[in-house]
Structures are given as C-alpha cells and as structure tokens.
Amino acid sequence: MQSPVLVVGSLGLDSLRTPLGEVEATLGGTAAYFSLAASLYTDVWLVAAIGTDFPTSYRNEFEQRTIDLAGLQVLEGETFRWSGEYGYDLNVAETLDLQLNVFADFHPLLPAAYRRARFVFLANIQPSLQLEVLEQIERPALVAVDSRDIWIQMNRQELTDVIRRADIVFLNDAEIREYAQTPNLVAAGRSLLALGPRTVVVKKGEHGALLIDRDAVFAIPAYPHEVVVDPTGAGDSFAGGVMGYLASVGDPTIRAFRRAVVHGSAIASFTVESFGVDRLRQLSMADVLQRYRSFRYLTAFDEES
Amino acid sequence: MQSPVLVVGSLGLDSLRTPLGEVEATLGGTAAYFSLAASLYTDVWLVAAIGTDFPTSYRNEFEQRTIDLAGLQVLEGETFRWSGEYGYDLNVAETLDLQLNVFADFHPLLPAAYRRARFVFLANIQPSLQLEVLEQIERPALVAVDSRDIWIQMNRQELTDVIRRADIVFLNDAEIREYAQTPNLVAAGRSLLALGPRTVVVKKGEHGALLIDRDAVFAIPAYPHEVVVDPTGAGDSFAGGVMGYLASVGDPTIRAFRRAVVHGSAIASFTVESFGVDRLRQLSMADVLQRYRSFRYLTAFDEES
C-alpha cells in the first residue's frame, strides 16, 4: 500500500558555478531535491525552514506536485543560502559562501499527522535535529538517514545514535570511509549494519552506488553521461527516487530495494544534466522508466558464460 | 573456432608489501599474470625476456599449463625485478625498487608460427616495442594494447600509433583520463575510439570496469571483497581473462565481449585474494564459472520497474 514519505532537511537558494556555466540564487537544499524526486512516486511531507524572502513561486511549485507544506516553517529573516563551485573534474564542490540565516534557528516540529509517517528521510542536517525528528514519530516503518563529513567529525556520537535507529543509511564513499575508518567500502558498509540498519547505500558519484545488506551486495553503475552539467543534488534526488519508490511499494522486499536503487540512479542521472533542479522539475515518470530500461542494457550480460 | 593468444610483456621477480603482509622475489610481470589467466581458456604464446636466474620451476609451471615458451628469450644477466608497496587504501603501488636488468635490452622476436597469431595482447611495455611486435604479425584478428602513465607522458606519439592499430585498448581510469585529457571516462573512451579501436576497456579497480564501444557502454562492478590482500596483477589477469575468453570463442560478437569482461572481472577478483600469482595459479574454470554467477547476482535487478 502506498505511503507518503516524510523528509526533513534544508531548503535554500543556491548559487552554482561549474565549468559549463553558472546560476544565481536558484531553488536548492537537500529537501528540495529529495521532494521533487520523491513526488514522482508518492505524496511528500516536507519539513524545513525558510525565510520571508523565499519565492512564492517555489512554494506553488511544491504544492502543485503533492508536496505538502504543513511542516514548512516560515521564520523571520533570510532563507539559507549556499554558493558553490565545481572544478574541472566535477568531483567535489568548493563552498564559496554559506549563510545559514533562518536555518541556524531551525528545530523541526512535526504537524500531528506527520507523526504517523511510515517512511522517513532524514536529510543531511545536524544529527541532534535528526534525533528530534525521530522523537516525534510514533511508529515508522522505514527510517533513512543521510549525513556528511562535518557531522562525522564533530557530532559522531549523535550521528551514531541516529544510525542505530535507522533502517537505511545513505552516505557517499568518502563519508562512509571516514565514519567506518576503513578504505574498503564493503567492510565499511558491513560495520554500519552491525549498528542496526538493515541496509547501507553507498553513493559513489560517477561510479554508481552499492546497496549493502547482511546477505548480499547489489552494485549499480552510474549512467554513462559524456557531459555532466552540474552534480548538485544528485545524491538527494537519488535518495528521493529510492525512498519515493519504496514508499510507493509500501512493504518493500529485497528485490524492491534493488529496483528502488535503480530508480534513484535513473533520477540522479537526469538531475546532473542541467543546473540545479532544472531537469528534475521537468521530469516525468515516462522519462524515468525509459532510463530504467537503459540501466538494464548498461548492465546486461548473458546468464550462460 | 578456438585460437591461441599471443602475449608480449614482462616476466619478473616481484617483492610485494601490503598492509596484510609481504612476499619476496616471487613470479611477477605483466605477461605472467596475463598468461596464467588466459591459459584457463586457450593456448598462450608467451614472448618475454628472462635472465639466467629465472627459476626453472616457473618455466615448468608455464609449460604445464599450455603456455608455449618458444618466444621466451633467455638473456645473459638477471631477470627484471620490481619491489612495490601498497598503502592503507591499496590504491596505488609505490615503487620501492626497479631493476630492468635483461629487460633493458629486450626486443621482441616472434617465432615463425607466432607471426600468424590472430589474438594478440601487447602488455604494458614501451610503445616502440609494441610496434615492433605488430610489424612481425601477418594478419591479426584482434589486437589489444595496454599501457601506463610513463608512456603516455614520454612516448605519446608512438603510443598513439599503437592505439591506431589496435582493436581493444585497456587502460585504467587515471591513465585514460591522462591520455584523453578529460576527467569524464566515457568521453575519454569515445575519444580513443575515434583513433580506430572498436572497443575501449576502462579498468577502475574497486569500481569495476567499463566496456565502451561506438554504440553502447557496458558497466560491470568489481566483486565486493571485504578484504583485498594484494592488488598486484589484477589488471593483467583481467586482460588475460578477457582475451583468453575472446580467443576461445574465436569470432566474438558484442555479447561475447560483455561475457569476456565478466570473465576478466571474475579472474581479477581471485587474483587480489592472495599475494602475487598465488591464487591465480590454483584457479580452476569451475571457480571462474561460479564467480561469473556471483556477478550475475551482484548486478541483478528486475526487468519490470
């Protein structure tokens, strides 16, 4: 049975520069990418903070996509702003400027209905805030958590507490190596499973993703783009595809988890084709299903050797 | 129809150190790894130079595996020696010591029968020597070439001449980026295809491999080992599996190329389980076929989304 998916994360105004161009103060933030992706599959409940300067057009866009904004906090002041630049290899963004603004005072407060959320995505925010969310949720079926280097370094204990209560952990390759203190991604994933989660998803950018559970590993490559315009939001839209798909299935099997990771990979492959959320906001399920089939061919080889 | 595969490369005595242990003066060299792998599939014709100190036991081992040594040159002096150490992440070997010895005077001279070789692997040696080999071969069906950073930097023109005459190019991710002067592996692969080869194989270590041809890309992940003992020879045994399989098929289709890359990946996954050639020399076709099936499960997801 289809469920909504709850996401708690950031909304912001991003300024992005890559070798192929730049864009100023456009819709960004982890929760924006996640919500736009997940809303292709199911209703999204969005919890985030914005300032009074957040464009009404972006709110309208969310609402037109069955992204519920009852959990959106409009705080006095300016919206979170991030300015980043990618070098030649598009690998890591250099932060040029970061203004937390209203995000500095954000404490997630869930509307009553959201407390019964079954599918929950804790986007990359301070682990103590992720714990505040979990305290408010009654009986989740599937909790997923994302994080990043700064929390691994500065708030390791709280992050570990979150991971202990999560079913799925999303981290990129550098992050999971740092958290698990091992260069081997499979060993790192397994060490996280020992804390409680049933699944670890390692995001490897141009090298695709790994889905690691107790019994097996599933590996999916990235879509083989010759040109990547802007990698911003690839990871969050990937997670949006994964979680949106799982919530649309309702009671996911191991095979559904694999399909979910392919959906996430398909969506991320579109995200990087344009600046910011541009491609994502135009995306249809037909596009996604076509790319799903491309992933089949990308990875296909004969059963008989 | 099954064909033998001709390999021209190095034989040496390697001393290897990794975080898990070390081994002294053991059988090594590109042609050793390639031949042991390829000989699982077909006869191997080995062209290389050794010194008078090269252990007879290694020669016997080759001959017992239908690795023909008519092209082996025994030169006055010592065998090529390499000593390398891998750090924590097992990513790149640091060369501790390198003694070319008899390899410095090596010029490949093909026995008459070898000149009719149809499947040819030019392992990583100086491009001018690779060209000398091609001059001696009458009408090859499939020429594959491997190379490395030093030749890309110092002998780019000769290397390009070799690539123009090759059907398959094997390079690792760092090498192809350097040769093609682009960070995007697919774009890099396509730029090499423009020189003439029908296929480019990008070896990505822990991230697997890409098979890039004009119409499509095939991506295969690496086998998800939690422990890698020694990555030495992974690339050359991978190529041995690919070329051995293709030569055993005789007239390979696109689908056979994909199967070949899975065979190469399976063999490389065994190579890294022990020091040097230890695991490779114990390997059976039954082992390889079992791992081929593991790769099926590693990459399997439902056709219906």
Q: Which of B161, B193, B19, B301 is nearest to A219 (CA)?
A: B301
What are the pLDDT digits (tens) for B15-60? 999 988 999 999 999 999 999 999 999 999 999 999 999 999 999 9
- Annotate B157-169 with b (16+ C-beta within 10 A) or e (fewer): ebbebbbebbbbb
Which of B177, B178, B182, B226 should be substituted to probe chain A, the one whose Cβ sees the most A Cβ atoms within 10 Å?
B226
Range of the domain at B265: 5-299
Name the strand (E) or helix (H) holding B130: helix B127-136
- Residues 6 or more apart in contact with residue B157 via CB below 8 angstroms: none
CATH number at residue B75: 3.40.1190.20
Domain-embedded: residue B109: yes
Q: Looking at residue B275, what DSSP letter applies?
A: S
Count chain A–chain B contacts defined by CB atoms under 8 A: 120
- Residue B305 forms part of a structural domain: no
Predicted local distance difference test score (pLDDT) of residue B88? 82
Are B210 and A224 in contact (CB < 8 Å)? yes
Euclidean distance between CA atoms A244 and A5, whole angstroms: 7
**Rounded CA gap, A108 and A136, in Å?**
9
Concatenated DSSP letters of chain A: ----EEEE---EEEEEEETTEEEEEEEESHHHHHHHHHTTTS-EEEEEEEETTS-HHHHHHHHHTTEEEEEEEEESSPPPEEEEEE-TT--SEEEEEEE-GGGGG------GGGGG-SEEEE-SS-HHHHHHHHHH-S--SEEEEE--HHHHHH-HHHHHHHHHT-SEEEEEHHHHHHHHT-S-HHHHHHHHHTTS-SEEEEE-GGG-EEEEESS-EEEEPPP--S--S--TTHHHHHHHHHHHHHHHHSS--HHHHHHHHHHHHHHHHHHTTSSTTHHHHH--HHHHHHHHHHHHHHH---S--
Q: Which residue of A has its CA nearest to B184?
A: A226
Determine the pLDDT at residue A91: 76
The reported pLDDT for the residue numbered A152 is: 97
**Tell me: the pLDDT tens digits for B237-288?**
999 999 999 999 988 899 999 999 999 999 999 999 999 999 999 999 999 9
Give pLDDT tens digits along chain A (305 positions): 789 999 999 999 999 999 889 999 999 999 999 999 999 999 999 999 999 999 999 999 999 999 999 999 999 999 999 999 998 878 788 899 999 999 888 999 999 999 999 999 999 999 999 999 999 999 999 999 999 999 999 999 999 999 999 999 999 999 999 999 999 999 999 999 999 999 999 999 999 999 999 999 999 999 999 999 999 999 999 999 999 999 999 888 999 999 999 999 999 999 999 999 999 999 999 999 999 999 999 999 998 87
In DSSP terms, A220 is beta-bridged to A209
Establish if A305 belongs to a structural domain.
no
* Cβ neighbours, 10 Å, residue B111: 13
The span from the CA of B42 to the CA of B37, in Å, is: 10
Angle at B127 between CA B167 and CA B8, to 5 degrees: 70
Q: Is residue A218 part of a domain?
A: yes
Taking the Cβ of residue B194 and every Cβ of chain A, the question of whether any pair is shorter than 8 Å is answered with: no
Q: Taking a C-beta distance cutoff of 8 angstroms, is the pair A298, B218 a contact?
A: yes
Among B186, B227, B263, the residue with its CB nearest the CB of A226 is B186
Task: Evaluate whether B19 touches B88 at the Cβ level (below 8 Å).
Answer: yes
Furthest-apart CA pair in chain A: how many Å?
Answer: 64
Domain count for chain A = 1
Return the pLDDT at A305. 72
User: Which residues are B97's β-sheet partners?
Assistant: B83
| C-alpha B206, offset from chain centre | 16
Nearest chain B Cα distance for residue A115, angstroms: 30
Alpha-carbon gap: A210 to the closest alpha carbon of chain B (Å): 9
Tokens of residue B221, six digits: 């992940």
Q: Is B65 on the interface with A (CB under 8 A)?
A: no
Give me the mean pLDDT over the B88-110 stretch.
Answer: 89
DSSP helix/strand/coil, B34: helix
Which residues, at least 6 apart from B4, have a Cβ–Cβ distance to it below 8 Å? Answer: B42, B43, B44, B45, B68, B117, B119, B247
Kindly provide the ipTM of the predicted complex, given to two decimals. 0.94
CB contacts under 8 A, B 147-186 vs A, are 183-186
Q: In the prediction, which pLDDT does B187 show? A: 97
* Owner of token pair 């590993």: A217
Q: Residue B105 pLDDT > 90, yes or no? A: no
Spatial separation of the C-alpha atoms in residues B298 and A213, rounded to whole Å: 12
Residue B304 falls within a domain, yes or no?
A: no
